[in-house]
Amino acid sequence: MVRDEASAHMIGSATAGLGSVFNQRLLELAEAELGPSPVPYSLMAAGSLVRIRHQASAVEAEREPNN
């Protein structure tokens, strides 16, 4: 990516995207081995993954028409 002159934002977005996919796959593997969760759960994330998701949500909110 650096060789292709990707910006820091592009590299961060790609890295966060990989982290998100990785986390999703870990949850799928755990459920496949352990069975479904007996109670609802959520995965807490921090760092760049959260920043990228927050920025994407803000962009989507900006695009929604006002009611």
- In tens, the pLDDT along 39-66 reads 998 887 777 666 665 555 544 445 555 5
Asked if residue 31 has pLDDT above 90, the reply is yes
Percent of the chain at pLDDT > 90 equals 24
Task: For residue 2, tell me if it sits in a domain.
Answer: no
Q: How many domains does the chain have?
A: 1
Q: Is residue 22 domain-resident?
A: yes
Dist CA 37 CA 7 (whole Å): 40
The answer to the question of residue 3 being in a domain is no
Return d(Cα 10, Cα 17) in angstroms, integer. 10
What range defines the domain where residue 18 resides? 8-63
pLDDT in the model for residue 13: 75
pLDDT of residue 9: 74
Say what the pLDDT of residue 56 is.
Answer: 53
pLDDT higher at 19 or 37: 37
Calpha distance 39→41 (Å, rounded): 6
